[in-house]
Structure 1
Amino acid sequence: MKTSENSAKFQPIDRDGLVERVANLLSDAIIKGQMKPGDRLSESVIAREMGLSRAPVREAARLLESSGLVAYQPNRGFFVRKISAQQLDDLYDLRIAIEVAAARRVLRHGDDALLDGLREQYETLKAVSNIETDMHVQVEADMEFHRRMILASGNPRFLKIFDQIARETELSIVVIGTLYGDPEWIAETHVPILEALAARDEPGVVAAIEYHIGEAQRLVTQQFRLLEDK
């Protein structure tokens, strides 16, 4: 993949929560495909477009490095991270482990309000899957369902890891350029998770999560390996 010096077009921003806001803007640009894997994050260009000095841009890039979206190359700077099929496979293994652990905590401590929130997000996911819409909207709706379940586990470390995993997962979809399956089918694979949580069925929840994420793992890594072979 050709490395580019080009960056997304940014608007000037104010100074409140500066580094975090710069990191969020850069993250969104990467996830939306405005900055491609292998692209260099030109601190001078980005700083000029945002009306900032280079220091907060550099700090924001370091935050993105810790989140797995960018990588630092000595004497060259920060680049949008390139993900391999094996790294992606490992990422999905971690996601399954975190979500299964979170779901078990939800079964012990969850309540009806939690299930209502998940059902509401499922309806959102189903709605966006039934219309012609931006791929990123569908991916974000999917991730939000899982994030709500992680949040309900009450374990902030699970949530922190999940947020990183979610960003890297979204980046992989950008690289492929398409969803890993039919949007309506993807939405429907969330139903068994909901049903098992409502029934307080731990084996059912584990099986549903392993199937849902496992199928994504199989299909996404398969497409990644095809890209690597080109």
Structure 2
Amino acid sequence: MRPRQETVQLPMMQPIRRPSIIDQAELELRNAIYFGDLRPGDTIPEVQVSKQMGISRSSLREACQRLVRDGLLTQIPGRGLFVTRMDAGTMSDFIDYRLGIEMQAASIVADRVAFLRSAGDAAAAESLLAPLREPMERTRRALEAEEVIEAGNADLDLHQQIAEIAGNRFLISSMSTIVILTRMGSFSDPRGFGVRADLAEAHEKLLAALSAGDASRARAVLRETLQELAGRLRSGEAELEVVRDPDLLESDGPEWTTLGDDQGE
């Protein structure tokens, strides 16, 4: 007689799947907003966009609703979906949110560096912060070459890297949305897309505070940097010198291509 097999109780498992069409559509829209192909106030024409992406309108709607949830798109009943405009009130709320996320990430990194240094492992502390040096150098080179958009890209990459080094997945996820919202605010500036002329020096101050394991000083540098950004984007005026690209003004809307008849659901 064959021995009886015991039943194994497995936990509930989710099926493993490749990225869905909706995931890919969401990423395409996020990238379009980040790189400025979609600017604040631009509409998202459902028919044309779904046709260009080669997906159903229902799939596009679901992808768009994810961006509405994150504040990147605004839905106006009877009018449709638009890339969110960062008005003064929105900017104030957003900077408060960004400060909370970034100051926490910087504190975690600085505390970790302080622990490593107190343990006599200076090499590990420097290795931990090494990913920040590449975007710092990119910022410096971009400013020297007057490549304003690249300087902005490098700046956002550095701030994203701090969250990555902190290693908290919730902070990392939040920063992924924050960098796009920051870009939207910059594109909303009526004087043109701009970055601080002393951005590289601001990065050096932040890295110096993190390298010293000084969480309080790192938070102070972030607070000064983000308050300057908020003031500039709210009023269009800047206390510090700003390098601008007048060609990167708010868009009148993308050139959507109509590909034919309405697509079914």
Taking structure 2 as the reference length, the TM-score comes to 0.72
Question: Residue 163 of structure 1: which of 176, 185, 196 is its match?
Answer: 176
Does 2:161 align with 1:148?
A: yes
Question: Residue 114 of structure 1: which of 128, 140, 145 is its match?
Answer: 128
Query: In structure 2, what is the equivalent of residue 178 of structure 1?
Result: 193
Partners in 2 of 1:76 and 1:218 — Cα distance? Answer: 31
The residue type paired with residue 164 of structure 2 is: L
Misfit runs of 4+, over 6 Å: none
Q: Which moved more, 1:36-45 or 1:147-156?
A: 36-45
Identical counterparts, % of pairs: 28
Q: Give unmatched runs, 5+ long, in structure 2.
A: 1-17, 114-124, 238-265
Cα deviation, residue 147, structure 1: 0.8
Q: Which moved more, 1:137-146 or 1:24-33?
A: 24-33
Query: In structure 2, what is the equivalent of residue 132 of structure 1?
Result: 146
The residue type paired with residue 143 of structure 2 is: S
Go from structure 1 to structure 2 and tell me whether the alpha carbon gap of 1:112 and 1:38 turns closer, same or farther (over 3 Å shift): same
Deviations 1:175-225 (A, max 9, x none): 11321432xx1121111110111111222212211122222222222218x
Does 2:196 align with 1:196?
A: no
Go from structure 1 to structure 2 and tell me whether the alpha carbon gap of 1:155 and 1:178 turns closer, same or farther (over 3 Å shift): same
Query: In structure 2, what is the equivalent of residue 102 of structure 1?
Result: 105
Deviations 1:142-170 (A, max 9, x none): 01101111111122111222222211110
Q: Which moved more, 1:140-149 or 1:150-159?
A: 150-159
Go from structure 1 to structure 2 and tell me whether the alpha carbon gap of 1:186 and 1:53 turns closer, same or farther (over 3 Å shift): same
Taking structure 1 as the reference length, the TM-score comes to 0.82
Partners in 2 of 1:73 and 1:220 — Cα distance? Answer: 24
Cα deviation, residue 76, structure 1: 3.3
Question: Residue 66 of structure 1: which of 30, 49, 69 is its match?
Answer: 69
Query: In structure 2, what is the equivalent of residue 90 of structure 1?
Result: 93
The residue type paired with residue 61 of structure 1 is: C
Partners in 2 of 1:26 and 1:108 — Cα distance? Answer: 36
Does 2:53 align with 1:50?
A: yes
Partners in 2 of 1:66 and 1:102 — Cα distance? Answer: 23
Q: Give unmatched runs, 5+ long, in structure 1.
A: 1-14, 225-230
Counterpart contact for 1:180–1:219, Cα < 8 Å: no
Partners in 2 of 1:130 and 1:180 — Cα distance? Answer: 13
How many residue pairs get aligned? The number is: 207
The residue type paired with residue 158 of structure 2 is: F
What is the Cα-based RMSD across aligned positions, in Å? Answer: 2.0
Partners in 2 of 1:91 and 1:28 — Cα distance? Answer: 20
- More relative contact order in 1 or in 2 (CA 8 Å, sep 6+)? 2
The residue type paired with residue 55 of structure 1 is: S
Query: In structure 2, what is the equivalent of residue 20 of structure 1?
Result: 23
Question: Equivalent residue of 2:193, what SS?
Answer: coil
Deviations 1:70-93 (A, max 9, x none): 011234332211221121122112
Query: In structure 2, what is the equivalent of residue 8 of structure 1?
Result: none
Higher helix share: 1
Partners in 1 of 2:222 and 2:19 — Cα distance? Answer: 39
Question: Equivalent residue of 2:106, what SS?
Answer: helix
Q: Which has the larger radius of gyration?
A: 2
Question: Equivalent residue of 1:190, what SS?
Answer: helix
Deviations 1:115-156 (A, max 9, x none): 1111222112212221132x4322221011011111111221
